[in-house]
Structure 1
Amino acid sequence: MLSVKRLPKVMHSLKARLIVSALLLILILMPLIGFTLNDAFKQQVKSASMNELKAYVYAILAVTEVSRDGVLMPEVLLENQFNVIQSGLYAAISTPNTSVLKSKNRAAFNAKIIETSPPATPLNSTNITSKDNQTIAWRSDSLLGIELPNQLPTPNKGQGQFSEIELNGQPHLIYSFSVSFELPTAINSESQHLNSRFPITIHIIKDQTEFQQQVDQFTQQLWRWLMILMGLLLAIQMTWLWWTLKPLSSLETELSAIENGKANQLSDRYPTELQAVAQQLNTLLSTEQNQRKRYRNALADLAHSLKTPLAVIQSQTDLSPESFEQVTHINRIIGHQLKRAQSAAGSAWHLGIPVVNISDKLVRNLPKIYCQPLITIKQNVDREAIFKGDEADLSEILGNVLDNACKAAASTVQLNITQNGAALVLQVEDDGSGVNETLQAQIFERGIRADSYKMGHGIGLAIVRDLVDSYHGQLSIGQSQLLGGASFTITFKY
């Protein structure tokens, strides 16, 4: 059995699975019904044809007379199709070779029939044709010009046999029925060559054209209506699936809205099976937000309680320069570690934040700070870009990178924000002196302190690096092709 991971990607969707199941059910069940009905109709038509041929057998048998001299039949049969040449309905009577007259007796028999037959009811003379181990003792006028097969079916006495044969290259249905006539037991010089019983087999042959036309017409109508029914079932099935899966689509839409920062909670308009899920998700969202708020408040209280004693120590007039430097360093470390701890990257749920809200604020305020010399910040921002994380973290990341760029720039900073599918790319370039290749490699090495970098690439970069790592993003540093200075590129993949 295939595991879920090995299934095609489209089959991970419940909607796709249900649609494929419905299609397979329709595409397998409906043709199966069609073949079954078509075969049943074909058997029914064949059975009706056999009953029809049986009736013709009894009609022929009713007018058949047998004597020691051969088979006697009327010149004209009641069923007119037997009298019309190649009408499509034929009759013939065959006898075993041991039961027929010798050839010298047949001429005498024919002459006798012609002399003794009354004009009002003429009888047809026996048209004897020998074929292998059987002889065609009589054939209807409709068989004129048609060659019968060398061997016709010969069932047991009192039994019938329904089969198919070819006449003139065309398929025909044939029903053969064998009977045996009792002959008088008179004994003379000629009768010693004859049996006391005279077996015959009556063959009724019918062209299959009408039979095949009925089958073909039924087949066409059957498949036409089955195709219409398949289309209707498919439409009903798709409508039913859409209506059944609509709550799942609504849930997906609302979750996407929450991730993109357009909503805070799920609605309660869900079926019973999904109502509990929606309530649990709303509880998770509320708990996550409240816990993050309490955690940040606790960290803020901790920072305040630590910074106050440090500030008192720093205010001492008798503090040596070495001690003052260490206290300042401790203060900086506390601020750095608290910012790392306050990151929401480890949250159970990343809500979507419009990037443009943060970028516009920074681009508007930073030039007011860096006005000597005046720094111009140009931006090319995708207004629909979404950062899936905490607003404070995004502000910290983008603010520190832009702040460093403004410090290092001569006059211009370029901000580019793009979102391609599930990837958010933040790029900040400046026209400063850039970052040499040696330092670029050291920035990403574990244990290298970011506050040892030259002006414009201080402790803020360490905060940015830690926050980006916590969101499993990528931070790369290079040279700007547009402005010639440093280029910081941050990529988040969701």
Structure 2
Amino acid sequence: MPRSLRVRLLLSAAIAIFLALAAAWVVMTLLFERHVERRIEADLIREGLQLAAAVSVGPDGAPALEREPGDARFFEPASGLYWQVSTDKAALSSRSLWDQHLPPPVNATSSQWRKRVIDGPFNQQVLLVERYVRPERSGADVLIQLAHEQKSLHDAREEFGHELALFLAILWFILSAAAWIHVELGLRPLRHVRNEVETLKRNPRERMAAAHVAEIEPLTLAINELADAREKDLSRARRRAADLAHGLKTPLAALSAQSRRAREAGAVEAADGLDRAIAAARLAIESELARSRAAALRAAPSGDSTTALPLIESLIGVVERTEFGARLVFEVNIPEDLRLPVASEDLLEIAGALIENAARYARRRVRITGEAVEGGVLLVEDDGPGIGPDKVAEALLRGGRLDEAGSGHGLGLAIAHDLVDATRGTITLLRSELGGLKVAVAWPAATPVSRLS
């Protein structure tokens, strides 16, 4: 069974129409045959009434006719149209019977005409009508029989059946086309639902419009309710992740203070071990928070865009106040009207991770460039030690653990990679003209959702 609802509906409609027209062909063919048969029977009875009006019985009991029916087929031997008038003493018949005779009666009466289909003269199957009449009240009964061959009836039925089949075949194609139009019109509201779901996937803040079709309205309401619940769950998950990060800062700060006291007391080895444990805990927390953030973005991309320049300048203002950023020169080459297809909070994390990473390992300069290519491009370069080409290829093949790609550039690149991938962008590591690492982040152009009227 095909999975497509459209194909299922079209197949079922085509089969149902075919079966209905096939049944109509059988019934109409039988009706045509019965109609022609009744017309022949009526013609035979009319000729029989003419014979009854012209028949008489002689003194010897033999029948006599004042005049014979005028149909020319009665005078042509084996023509297929016959009459016979008979009594107990003798019989008269049409010339078309020649030396043949009609069979004796079976259920003939004097009250009405009886019909039957029999094997008649000249090995022909015939429709026979018969009746007794009494020309004189005190005279003998006369049997009047008329017969018409059935072959012409069967030929007419076959010819009618062939022509009707051709007509019904054309009608089947027309009705199938009408069914296709009917299915397309019936499924159009579902196409609207699909397009609106695509919009909902791009921006979870959107909601589906009220359906114009009563049968679709419960579906749209259910999808909107699901989107509301999903957005609440994502917001709750983000808040819990932020709460976890803030909640762990205090214990880690307390451990850092204990490490300093231990170092001041001369327990250098213990302090070093404690510092390594604290650093590992911080890395693990930041890594898991980044993965959670990326997973949330993949599940519900925002579909927003952000003006890049103000956000980048605010980030640089923060980094410049750090110990490693105060000694650097930041070059910003971003058009004022450049908008990147990322929500502001997502771009803040991506650009923040890249700029902080570059600032940590730059010697003197960090350059940030923005380009309006396709969806948008963000370049972050430094003049630090960089990453060797062999390590870059190895890191990209492993896909995601860029913090292992060489000395100097660590978790910031891993976080940026996850978030860029979650926002449907690509991240590439190159050699910068400044001598260090060049990180290129590119987003594809947004594909508009088609809306059909």
The TM-score range, normalised by the shorter chain, is: 0.5 to 0.7
Per-residue deviation at 1:163?
8.2
The answer as to whether partners of 2:305 and 2:344 remain within 8 angstroms in 1 is no
Q: 1:459 to 1:199 in 2, by over 3 A?
A: same
Q: Which residue of 1 aligns with 2:127?
A: 175
Q: Which residue of 2 aligns with 1:257?
A: 199
Q: Which residue of 2 aligns with 1:357?
A: 306
Per-residue deviation at 1:314?
6.8
Q: Which residue of 1 aligns with 2:415?
A: 463
Q: 1:437 aligns with which of 390, 404, 428?
A: 390
The answer as to whether partners of 2:392 and 2:405 remain within 8 angstroms in 1 is no
Residue 48 (structure 1) aligned with residue 38 (structure 2) = yes
Q: Which residue of 1 aligns with 2:403?
A: 450
State the alpha-carbon separation in 2 of the partners of residues 211 and 480 from structure 1. 90
The answer as to whether partners of 2:116 and 2:127 remain within 8 angstroms in 1 is yes
Tell me the amino acid that sits aligned with residue 28 of structure 2: N
Q: 1:338 aligns with which of 266, 281, 285?
A: 285
Q: Which residue of 1 aligns with 2:229?
A: 284
- Give a deviation string over 1:286-327, Cα, whole Å, max 9, x none: 541442243034223323313432554576683777677666
Q: Which residue of 2 aligns with 1:193?
A: none
Q: Which residue of 2 aligns with 1:59?
A: 49
Secondary structure at 1:203's aligned position in 2? strand
Secondary structure at 2:329's aligned position in 1? coil
Q: Which residue of 1 aligns with 2:253?
A: 308
Residue 318 (structure 1) aligned with residue 248 (structure 2) = no
The answer as to whether partners of 2:201 and 2:300 remain within 8 angstroms in 1 is yes
Unaligned runs of 5+ in 2: 109-113, 135-140, 445-453
State the alpha-carbon separation in 1 of the partners of residues 96 and 169 from structure 2. 51
Q: 1:268 to 1:377 in 2, by over 3 A?
A: closer
Q: 1:413 to 1:391 in 2, by over 3 A?
A: closer
Secondary structure at 2:264's aligned position in 1? coil
Question: Given the two structures, how large is their TM-score scaled by the length of structure 2?
Answer: 0.57
- Give a deviation string over 1:320-358, Cα, whole Å, max 9, x none: 776776666555434432233332345599222236427
User: Structure 2 matches for 1:159-308, cutoff 5 A?
Assistant: 160-162=115-117, 175-177=127-129, 202-204=146-148, 219=164, 230=175, 234=179, 238=183, 241-242=186-187, 246=189, 252=194, 254-261=196-203, 263=205, 273-274=218-219, 277-278=222-223, 280-281=225-226, 284-285=229-230, 287-308=232-253
State the alpha-carbon separation in 2 of the partners of residues 59 and 480 from structure 1. 115
State the alpha-carbon separation in 1 of the partners of residues 56 and 181 from structure 2. 67
Tell me the amino acid that sits aligned with residue 264 of structure 2: D
State the alpha-carbon separation in 2 of the partners of residues 410 and 359 from structure 1. 17
State the alpha-carbon separation in 2 of the partners of residues 258 and 351 from structure 1. 9
Question: Given the two structures, how large is their TM-score scaled by the length of structure 1?
Answer: 0.54
State the alpha-carbon separation in 2 of the partners of residues 216 and 126 from structure 1. 33
Per-residue deviation at 1:129?
7.3
Tell me the amino acid that sits aligned with residue 336 of structure 1: L
Per-residue deviation at 1:22?
4.6
Unaligned runs of 5+ in 1: 1-6, 102-123, 138-152, 183-196, 420-424
Q: 1:434 to 1:356 in 2, by over 3 A?
A: farther
Secondary structure at 2:299's aligned position in 1? coil
More deviation in 439-448 or 459-468?
439-448
Structure 1 or 2: larger strand share?
Answer: 1
